[in-house]
Amino acid sequence: MTEPLPERPGDFDALLTYVRDARGFDFTGYKKPSLARRIDKRLQARRAPGYDEYRALLEQDPDEFVELFNTILINVTSFFRDEFAWDYLREVVVPRLLVARDDEQLRLWSTGCATGEEAFSLSIVLAEALGVDDFKRRVKIYATDVDDDALRFGRHATYSPKQIKPVPEELREKYFAREDHSFAFRGDLRRAVIFGRHDLIQDPPISRIDLLVSRNTLMYFTPEVQSRVLANFHFALREDGYLFLGKSEALTAKTNLFKPVDLKRRVFAKVPQRAERKAFARDERATLLTPPVEAVVRDAGLDVVSVAFIAIDREGNLALANLQARMQFGLSQRDLGRPIQDLEISFRPVELRSRIEQAYMERHPVSLRDVAWRAAEETRYLDVQVSPLNSGTGELVGAGITFTDVTRYRRLQIALQEARRDAETAGEELQATVEELETTNEELQATNEELETTNEELQATNEELETMNEELESTNEELETMNDELHQRSMELNNTNDFLEAILASLPAAIVVDRALRVQAWNAGARELWGLTAEETVGQHFMNLDIGLPVDKLHAPLRGVLGDHGSRDIVRLDATNRRGRAVTTRVELAPLQADGSTDGVILMMETEDAQ
């Protein structure tokens, strides 16, 4: 059936060819009416009157390609799109698959995955059926599209509340983490989903797939291209694998490669190999489009290798890239045959051309270890080996390059180094603590010794104090004895004094002076006679006393008694007594003798009535 041509003037097919050759996007296999509608939008936006002008515009302004692809590639999608079909997948298809696979690996492929909702819906269904641990261990989901922007979004795995809405609440809780105003798919499960650029029209299929989900993408292609892609899908699936198409996509009757499991839900099963051969034989187009068996086997074999591998021919063109390399570095079938220097892989993750030259010159592999490669959100580490490739005759035919992902080992290595460093730090800290303890111990020992010395000194001081105390006690006792004695003496003295006083009192007026003529005693008779008390006279010089007696006249007799050892004297003097009466006073001077010497003079006075 010929499709109606677009209405705009100009060569539409020439425009598509130009886009294919310039950018590798082959839209020639897309249904023309809808494709033209979308391209026309761009013509309108850029005010291009026809396809030729628009083509010229693309040549001048390469940024327009981005706008064009964004307009053609419709990324409309959602989680669990067409819910009833997903229910069937969950309730019938997946349980059947799990029974058939026992404990084997499960490989799923979401083609035309757009921004990844379909791939993560598959993750959730599988994780619910298997449990999270088994899911992580057994499941791999390839999520592919031609649209790099959409893939970038998918790798980020973060969705707005509006996008997440179709996910039931309990699954949202379980499989997404809230980040501000968005929801991020669980990081540990995200790793099972591998995003990669894959063009359904140009690139060879991924092989050994258990469940292939291609929804709402085939419908953009012409029936011829659809048959070709379906043939690839048939090849991609394992014998008992399933194909899950979109609501408005039906298989063309001619293929016979699939049989419906549930036509309404668009679930199909692969027709097994024997039938496949027959179908291929009947379907000429499919046969024509299928590459030779050896090449298919070789490509399929290379594709299951988990290490990324590319081969460069002697002219420096990309000759081969296995699935892992295509997925990892965004290569596609259309890159085959292109000079390596035109491809990003020639300088990222590592500069390859000089290494290829080196491998050629040395005829020996060149190895690079731990090459850091920033992929999507994380940095991965690759061991890269560039090996010269020789033909059977030993002729150099090109170079083979392997990229082995060693991120896991490197992480382990870093963890090991950190653990070692921690252990070393802990050891050093322990050593420091032991040294500190030793120092502290030594200090304690020194302090202890000091304390012991101090203790000994205290002990000695204590003993000294004890001794002194005892000495004081004995002195005290002595003093007490002396005190007692003194008391005794004092009492005796008092008695003697009393006795002397009594003697003195019983005498008439008596006065005692010392050798310096100072009054030592003054008895009551003297007070009666002269009117002065003992308090007023004792200690005074006798010659200075103002009494009724002319004391100066006694000076010589006093000196005489004092000087003349043991002599006595009697003097009579006229005097006036205390009453003012003139009296004759008889004064007898006797020496005061002690131990044979004269210490003073005793003056005894009696009045005789004046004549």
Ligand X SMILES: C[S@@+](CC[C@H](N)C(=O)[O-])C[C@H]1O[C@@H](n2cnc3c(N)ncnc32)[C@H](O)[C@@H]1O
Residues found near ligand X in the complex (CB under 6 A): 73-77, 81, 112-114, 118, 145-147, 150, 199-201, 215-217, 220, 246
Residue 114 or 562: which CB sits closer to ligand X? 114
To the nearest whole angstrom, how small is the minimum distance from the Cβ of residue 73 to ligand X?
3
To the nearest whole angstrom, how small is the minimum distance from the Cβ of residue 247 to ligand X?
9
To the nearest whole angstrom, how small is the minimum distance from the Cβ of residue 391 to ligand X?
35
Residue 148 or 342: which CB sits closer to ligand X? 148
Q: How far apart are CA 302 and CA 312, in angstroms?
A: 15
Residue 262 or 383: which CB sits closer to ligand X? 262
Q: Provide the strand spans (E) within 82-148.
A: 106-111, 139-145
For 247, other C-beta atoms within 10 Å of its C-beta total 15
Q: Which residues, including other chains, have CB under 8 Å from residue 509's CB and lie 6 or more apart?
A: 523, 525, 526, 528, 529, 530, 604, 605, 606
Residue 118 or 283: which CB sits closer to ligand X? 118
Residue 150 or 352: which CB sits closer to ligand X? 150
Q: How far apart are CA 278 and CA 173, in angstroms?
A: 49
Q: How far apart are CA 232 and CA 221, in angstroms?
A: 14
Classify residue 492 by burial, with Cβ atoms within 10 Å: 0-12, 13-18, 19+. exposed
For 107, other C-beta atoms within 10 Å of its C-beta total 23
Q: How far apart are CA 349 and CA 329, in angstroms?
A: 9
Least Cα distance to 244 among 90, 102, 103 occurs for 90
To the nearest whole angstrom, how small is the minimum distance from the Cβ of residue 141 to ligand X?
13
To the nearest whole angstrom, how small is the minimum distance from the Cβ of residue 147 to ligand X?
4
Q: Which amino acid is located at 261 in the chain?
A: V
Q: How far apart are CA 82 and CA 69, in angstroms?
A: 26
Residue 199 or 606: which CB sits closer to ligand X? 199
To the nearest whole angstrom, how small is the minimum distance from the Cβ of residue 72 to ligand X?
8
Q: Which residues, including other chains, have CB under 8 Å from residue 555's CB and lie 6 or more apart?
A: 543
Q: How far apart are CA 157 and CA 120, in angstroms?
A: 8
Residue 18 or 120: which CB sits closer to ligand X? 120
To the nearest whole angstrom, how small is the minimum distance from the Cβ of residue 60 to ligand X?
26
To the nearest whole angstrom, how small is the minimum distance from the Cβ of residue 19 to ligand X?
13
To the nearest whole angstrom, how small is the minimum distance from the Cβ of residue 266 to ligand X?
11
| C-alpha 165 chain-centroid distance | 37
From its phi and psi, is residue 332 left (phi > 0), alpha (psi between -120 and 50) or beta?
Answer: beta
Residue 147 or 303: which CB sits closer to ligand X? 147
Residue 74 or 532: which CB sits closer to ligand X? 74
Q: Are 241 and 268 in contact (CB under 8 A)?
A: no
Residue 120 or 530: which CB sits closer to ligand X? 120
Q: How far apart are CA 499 and CA 488, in angstroms?
A: 16
To the nearest whole angstrom, how small is the minimum distance from the Cβ of residue 25 to ligand X?
8
> 3-class SS at 186?
coil
